[in-house]
Chains A and B, each alone.
Chain A
């Protein structure tokens, strides 16, 4: 699987979501290259638990960098079915590959129509360019 940023949907708070044709009910979630650059050196990341419910626009985890803690918000609602636990010990990899290798969690979506409310690449890039 190769995830291209141009094909993703985004929250304003820089979380991306990807849905593959093979598993249309499952959303893969991560944080964008812009967010990783804004966060600078990442120190800690707290992930959700498998089986945990998440809600669109609400916090699902936290990340610490340079003595600042920032929440991560879920782009979709549903149940966490998989987490990328190895990522916690390899946060530096996010600055190299925030998409394919930098996914954070996979969510069984309860309402796939929420995807339509997210930003497409053009809108998200416009937001970042004007930040």
Chain B
């Protein structure tokens, strides 16, 4: 397929943003945030593939957040499409194959991100970057915890080997690797990587709510509704909002609610998908800052400037 025009425009942006001695060791590198509108699966994958293919040591670090114009199945690089027949409904979806590894994802009620870190010095690396996985997912854990979520890293593994790969669940969100982000027992965020001599590409997905295609997978929105709001209201029945706010300031959300006899702690959440996108960008930037010193150009290209 021909590449989307966004790439032509993006390469112009690259030329206009030269690096001044890029390094992973403290000298600031240029960083670009791309927020794309919903696109087709082919276009989304072509953009990420081109970003990695065309990366040079002078290219900026790219943080891209995007959605899909229709529910789409993306397969891990080595997954067989035939295996999706084992999961009802999946074979009816349009599908693409990612350049990154891992399990299949139904891109429906989730937000996808890609991070490209162009290689500047060590072109000989092979395999995954545990550092990047943990930086990004650790940042997500920290920021969700600040909102009151009981988020943590899985630290468990359903990882397959070459001999038992068929035993591993087909869907990424049904698998567990140690760096996956979970709330309770539900996986909310997963990522996968591809490393070439040009750079490191990491794909990831934040599950906002369940898709009708995969009702067994719980997203953040379902977790919110699992919080018994009646219990929270009952807990506050005799208390004024002012008292609650005072306790919040002094004790924090969790303790303030537990003091009032709530059985579960309610958490705050962005109120719509745009707010979730902004939250995810914040998470990704904070995570990346632990390993790359980026000077972000927050010229967040809107739909009109990029796609018209």
The answer to whether A binds B is: yes
Query: Is A13 touching B123 in the complex (CB atoms < 8 A)?
Result: yes
B61-99, CB under 8 A of A: which get 1 and which 0?
000000000000000111000000000000000000001
Query: Is B78 touching A44 in the complex (CB atoms < 8 A)?
Result: yes
Residues of B within 8 A of A14 (CB): 124, 126
Cβ-defined partner of A43 (8 Å) among B123, B129, B165: B165
What separation, in Å, do the CA atoms of A64 and B194 have in the docked complex? 9
Q: Is A111 an interface residue (CB 8 A)?
A: no
Residues of A within 8 A of B242 (CB): none
Query: Is B197 touching A13 in the complex (CB atoms < 8 A)?
Result: yes
Q: Is B102 an interface residue (CB 8 A)?
A: yes
Residues of A within 8 A of B122 (CB): 131
Residues of B within 8 A of A71 (CB): 196-197
Query: Is B78 touching A38 in the complex (CB atoms < 8 A)?
Result: no
B305 CB to nearest A CB, Å: 33
Q: Which of B156-164, B224-232, B291-299 contacts A (4 or more CB under 8 A)?
A: B156-164
A85-104, CB under 8 A of B: which get 1 and which 0?
00011111000000000000
Given A43-B101, A70-B195, check contact A38 B126 (CB 8 Å): yes
Residues of B within 8 A of A46 (CB): 78
What separation, in Å, do the CA atoms of A90 and B162 have in the docked complex? 7
Interface size class of B (residues with CB under 8 A): 20 to 34
How many A-B residue pairs lie within 8 Å, measured between CB atoms? 97
Interface size class of A (residues with CB under 8 A): 20 to 34
B179 CB to nearest A CB, Å: 9
Query: Is A40 touching B161 in the complex (CB atoms < 8 A)?
Result: no
A126 CB to nearest B CB, Å: 12
Most buried by B among A13, A14, A69: A69
A1-29, CB under 8 A of B: which get 1 and which 0?
00000000000111000000000000000
Q: Is A114 an interface residue (CB 8 A)?
A: no
Minimum CB distance partner of B100 in chain A: A69
B112-133, CB under 8 A of A: which get 1 and which 0?
0000000000111111110000
Cβ-defined partner of B77 (8 Å) among A42, A64, A66, A89: A64
Q: Is B213 an interface residue (CB 8 A)?
A: no
- Listed from nearest, the 4 A-B pairs whose CB atoms lie closest are A68-B128, A44-B78, A91-B162, A68-B193
11 contacts across the A-B interface (CB closer than 8 A): A12-B123, A41-B159, A43-B78, A46-B78, A66-B128, A66-B177, A67-B100, A67-B177, A68-B195, A70-B126, A70-B127
Known: A43-B162, A69-B78, A69-B194. 11 other contacts (CB 8 A): A38-B125, A43-B101, A44-B165, A65-B128, A67-B100, A68-B100, A68-B128, A68-B194, A69-B195, A88-B162, A92-B162
Residues of chain A whose beta carbon lies under 8 Å from any beta carbon of chain B: 12-14, 31, 35, 38-46, 62-71, 73, 88-92, 127, 131
Residues of chain B whose beta carbon lies under 8 Å from any beta carbon of chain A: 76-78, 99-102, 122-129, 159-163, 165, 177, 191-197
